[in-house]
Structure 1
Amino acid sequence: MTTHTTTAPSGLTHAREMLWAALEARDETAAASAVFDAHDAGATAEELLLDVIGPVQARVGGEWAAGRIGVAQEHAATAIQDRVIAALAHRDPRRRPSAARGVRPESGAAPRRVTVACVDGEWHSLPARLLAEVLRGRGFLVDYLGAHVPTPHLIAHLHQNGADAVALSASLPVRLPTAHAAVTAVQAIGLPVLVGGAAFGPDGQYALLLGADGWAPDARAAASLLAGGLRRPEGFPPDPGRELPHLSDQEYTLITRGRTELIRRVLTALEDTVPAMASYTERQRERTAEDIAHIVDFLAASLYADDAELFTRFVTWTAGILRARGVPDHALVAALDLLAAAQYDFPRARAHLLAGRSALVRDPAPTDPGRRP
């Protein structure tokens, strides 16, 4: 779709640079000034949200992945960004983008009401927050529920307050099962569901798998889809809550149920396989256990989606993260081998693990699966 940008690219570039410098210094006042100065110079709120704040947040994640900033600094930057978004939302409403962009299908019709939420377990709320503000700027009535919304609470909210459509966000593929439950539950009460976020794959293929009524790669595309009214695209399954036939082999269920024991067994075996672990501090052991847990969780997600590529993207990305922190590739390969050995009765899981190992050995360059700290 066409991006409606009215501000000169150089102005937005300068705003991004000033905002990044402010976040590096953890200076909330300077961060607000960077955005508000651009606003006063004529940038629309939508441009600032999607062409300044969004890209800078992506840079924050990239700096964390490269090991140049820590988790605490990443969290501080995100908190500042969230407060700047809130402050921008309460500036002069006359500077908002026009609300007349197809939101009201007929003259005098009421604005559409959209509920925006992150799926259960998803704490990366900034993408959903950006969407909510873009929708408000285009004239929608928006209920923004924030991060980690359990599906029963989402359904209760919809019963109590109503909506014309629901937009669900998920950044991590490990949230696909809970996203599926949310999509199914919302459709069961008669509402269409639009999904977005890195969890649903580079081209939204997992949105199709889970039976969502639509997928958008970004907030502008989402706003346009909602303005036109969600229609079930050709190829999307007609029945909410359809079964996924590949789950009948029980591999996903058995691995998730045995997750804790599996992590413990692999961690114990890894100590014998990687001699350097003998000198690990307690904190290093905890980090290693966390890494193994992430591997198991992404393996489960790839089994749920029946897509080994989901797992290989995670493995190659993780290898880059660990290298930036001084952990050699052979430690990750050893963990994958131990997991494969433990999955001797699970042919799909072994195939996904083998694909991940092969991708790591063949191409050590990391790719981002949408996972952040």
Structure 2
Amino acid sequence: MRAERYVSTYFEAIGAADTGSAQRQVSDLLEAGLQLDWIVTNVILPAQQLVGEAWENDTWNVAREHAATGISEQIIAVLGATQQELPCAKHLVAACVEHEQHSLPLRATATLLRGAGHRLTFLGASVPVADLRRYVTQVRPDAVLLSCMLAARVPDAERAIRALRGLTTRIIVGGPGFGPEGVWASRFRGEVTAARDATEVTRLLELPPPAQPFDPLGQPRPVCELDAERIRARRDDLLEHGMAVLGPLSRADDLFALFLSDSLGHLVDTLVAAVHLDNPAAFVEYLRWLRRVASRRGIPSAQLDQVLRSWSGQLKGMPKARRVIGAALKDAAPADT
């Protein structure tokens, strides 16, 4: 297909950190009559998928992945700036939830929405909840778009949602962090709607706003959320213990040790999220991914299992956490024959 050829050449350009070549390719496509949404959806984003796979497969390091992603984000931002908003445009504020650093997917969505005539204010990665609330209070947009790429950030997303109650007509969330079809957003019973892409966002904006009022704050916190906070408070201890369990691996070269520390940190954060949601699925799915990534870097799954068992022992007074860890260990166990 034609798109595959464009993806390949664009991927080569960003892989070589050749900003000029990548920009020329996009300009050529525009001059050839291809629409902005087609270029973003069929060329830039698929190329970024290849970037992610290159890092996962350990063929690219973090620096190269960041360089390539930075080029794509720059190009998408420039494309967005060329779009004209309609006179009756709705004002949308787009932000990644606090601690969520992956901003390119939201940047792409914002650019596509600008292309549809909307007025977009893009706040970028990891917007602190207090700052987001203050900004939304000042500008009172028609909708706030929240992006969450990792399930580990769902508790942060929920803090943002609670902080925004009553300040905007609609809150729309997106990103794989909210689970398949945005399932974790359903916890808010209609206050929040999930969208897969810019087209769905546009469709939602055409619907009447949620009829029910926002629930008042101050309701009792579920036990699972309180348990999650207890685990979060022990994050440093769990991370230190996990690195100790990995033994010689954790004392390898600095870059490898940093990968291990970051990976275990994300694993603790995802455990917190799974307990917060009272559902092991988020933790099980993330651990499947981590096993694949770790195995390509020479880390056996059995050693990750040892870390999980050690954490389970440390969390004896937290049955919900042990249930989540048990589900992950069971998922990793070979099927009986």
Partner of 1:47: 38
Residue 277 of structure 1 and its aligned partner are, at CA, apart by 4.1
Residue 285 of structure 1 and its aligned partner are, at CA, apart by 4.0
Cα distance between partner residues in 1 of 2:322 and 2:259:
24
- Contact map agreement 2:80 2:112 (CA 8 A) in 1: no
Residue 361 of structure 1 and its aligned partner are, at CA, apart by 2.4
- Contact map agreement 2:140 2:168 (CA 8 A) in 1: no
- Contact map agreement 2:97 2:156 (CA 8 A) in 1: yes
Partner of 1:135: 113
Pairs within 5 Å for 1:43-82: 43-82=34-73
The residue type equivalent to 1:65 in the other structure is: E
Identify if the C-alpha distance between structure 1 residues 122 and 297 changes in structure 2 by more than 3 Å, giving closer, same or farther. same
- Contact map agreement 2:140 2:167 (CA 8 A) in 1: no
Gaps of 5+ in 2: none
Cα distance between partner residues in 2 of 1:361 and 1:57:
33
Residue 321 of structure 1 and its aligned partner are, at CA, apart by 0.3
Residue 89 of structure 1 and its aligned partner are, at CA, apart by 3.2
The residue type equivalent to 2:66 in the other structure is: H
Gaps of 5+ in 1: 1-9, 101-108, 364-373
Identify if the C-alpha distance between structure 1 residues 158 and 287 changes in structure 2 by more than 3 Å, giving closer, same or farther. closer
Cα distance between partner residues in 2 of 1:17 and 1:266:
40
- Contact map agreement 2:228 2:275 (CA 8 A) in 1: yes
SS in 2 for 1:163: coil
The residue type equivalent to 1:45 in the other structure is: L
Pairs within 5 Å for 1:7-26: 10-26=1-17
The residue type equivalent to 2:197 in the other structure is: D
Counterpart selection for 1:163 from 134, 141, 147? 141
- Contact map agreement 1:266 1:335 (CA 8 A) in 2: yes
Partner of 2:236: 260
The residue type equivalent to 1:297 in the other structure is: D
SS in 2 for 1:143: strand
Counterpart selection for 1:175 from 153, 164, 176? 153
Cα distance between partner residues in 1 of 2:270 and 2:37:
34
Partner of 1:312: 284
The residue type equivalent to 1:223 in the other structure is: T
Identify if the C-alpha distance between structure 1 residues 11 and 43 changes in structure 2 by more than 3 Å, giving closer, same or farther. farther
| Aligned length, in residue pairs | 333
Residue 269 of structure 1 and its aligned partner are, at CA, apart by 4.1
The residue type equivalent to 1:320 in the other structure is: R
Identify if the C-alpha distance between structure 1 residues 354 and 185 changes in structure 2 by more than 3 Å, giving closer, same or farther. same
TM-score normalized by the length of structure 1: 0.82
- Contact map agreement 1:116 1:143 (CA 8 A) in 2: yes
- Contact map agreement 1:213 1:230 (CA 8 A) in 2: no
Cα distance between partner residues in 1 of 2:244 and 2:76:
45
Q: Does 1:202 align with 2:193?
A: no
- Contact map agreement 1:180 1:210 (CA 8 A) in 2: no
SS in 2 for 1:203: helix
TM-score normalized by the length of structure 2: 0.90
Partner of 2:21: 30
Cα distance between partner residues in 2 of 1:87 and 1:110:
23
SS in 2 for 1:42: coil
Partner of 2:222: 245
SS in 2 for 1:294: helix
Partner of 1:186: 164
Cα distance between partner residues in 2 of 1:347 and 1:237:
35
The residue type equivalent to 1:321 in the other structure is: V
How large is the RMSD of aligned CA atoms in angstroms? 2.4
SS in 1 for 2:181: coil
The residue type equivalent to 2:176 in the other structure is: A
Q: Deviations over 1:115-173 (max 9, x none)?
A: 11111111111111111111111111111111111122112222222211111111111
